[in-house]
Structure 1
């Protein structure tokens, strides 16, 4: 019982630098092109596009939600917010890298706004669950928004406050979403990229709270 309790504790708390796995210097192999759109996964991306980075539980279903949105040019899944450089999926699952599963979204702001992406983010998972998302338990499933620039950071913060008010009005809990400047993003292995396009009946744990997010004007 002590061993089981110790393992669970490691999954629910972020590792300190001295506890994190060492990782590696070189990136792990991944796909070169998006399985659905055939566009280059790592770029170069066309001029005028912007990037966003979201963590909302298991990245398989989250990525599908974003790639299906009009104006999203390409998506990729990976790991961010941790310590271990170039981690593998197996390493992140131990909870000893500090990363959460995230989706990189490259989008055309002339077609879909960052506010649109934020609204989809808030409404398609439960951001009040801390180090878990439904039955998926651990630090790798924590809710996160990693911002590129001050405008995205301000928009993310304003949308969080607006959604917190909406949740509270309906008796919901406190939002635990991490909002921080975008850290290093590490592409996940090829098998995880666009997983639900390759496995249409695969696992998807994407669930919202049922509460709509009223977007403030500052996120436009």
Structure 2
């Protein structure tokens, strides 16, 4: 199985050039009716990669305290890539969900719990049947506080896995966030537009212990 160092950066050979213009997306979230781009005062941003971003986005937009969500690409080098380019493996990006949330209602620690418990963080460059560097597990921290919490949560989840008898290596990439690029409009809130659409989201039956 292909694995990735948990603090690695995916550097593709001969990365694609990309473009200067961002992908156009709707002004308003299809489900939450909030701005897709703004971060209101008092709100914070989180970035998670959990495999296919369709199911991950739905998981987070359902949470109380979430202002808006969006899917996109991050962790790589190509500016403003499109879906086809990301799938080529030549951008370095992962499929990510961007969450704008109110930390007084929904603390970052709870977002981390949702992250760890709703995908398999020990599959390297894949998530189930979805194979490729874009499907890797990753936490892209916006602040130093998020970075510290993410690393502590990884250690706690590994301990919980070991207690459950799962000895696999956790391959989740945890680094300071690089730029986030919106994905095409077709991918935004995809599972609201297509309720019977593909969703490969699922955990391994291990719970993240509460912070000490």
TM-score greater than 0.5 by the shorter chain: yes
Aligned to 2:71: 77
C-alpha distance in 2 between matches for 1:131 and 1:113: 29
Which residue of the other structure, out of 188, 195, 208, is the alignment partner of 2:190?
195
C-alpha distance in 2 between matches for 1:90 and 1:171: 38
Shift of 1:14: 4.3
Which residue of the other structure, out of 88, 99, 103, is the alignment partner of 1:94?
88
Aligned to 1:3: none
More helix per residue: 1
C-alpha distance in 2 between matches for 1:54 and 1:204: 16
Aligned to 1:152: 146
Shift of 1:31: 1.9
Which residue of the other structure, out of 129, 138, 151, is the alignment partner of 2:123?
129
Residues 10 and 75, structure 2, Cα contact 8 Å, conserved in 1: no
Query: 1:111-140: per-residue Cα shift (whole Å, max 9, x none)?
Result: 110000000000000000000000000000
Query: 1:122-172: per-residue Cα shift (whole Å, max 9, x none)?
Result: 000000000000000000000000011111111000000000011112222
Aligned to 1:111: 105
Aligned to 1:143: 137
Residues 66 and 106, structure 2, Cα contact 8 Å, conserved in 1: yes
Residue 57, structure 1, aligned to residue 51, structure 2: yes
Shift of 1:26: 1.2
C-alpha distance in 1 between matches for 2:97 and 2:53: 6
Aligned to 2:162: 168
List gaps (5 residues or longer) in structure 1: 1-7
C-alpha distance in 2 between matches for 1:73 and 1:39: 7
Residues 52 and 146, structure 1, Cα contact 8 Å, conserved in 2: yes
Residues 14 and 95, structure 1, Cα contact 8 Å, conserved in 2: no
DSSP-derived class of the 1:102 partner: strand
DSSP-derived class of the 1:160 partner: helix
Structure 1 segments (4+ residues) deviating >6 Å: none
Q: Please report the TM-score for the alignment, with normalisation by the length of structure 2.
A: 0.93
Count of paired positions: 204
Choose 1 or 2 for highest CA Rg.
1
C-alpha distance in 2 between matches for 1:214 and 1:28: 38
DSSP-derived class of the 1:161 partner: helix
Q: Please report the TM-score for the alignment, with normalisation by the length of structure 1.
A: 0.90
Aligned to 1:21: 16
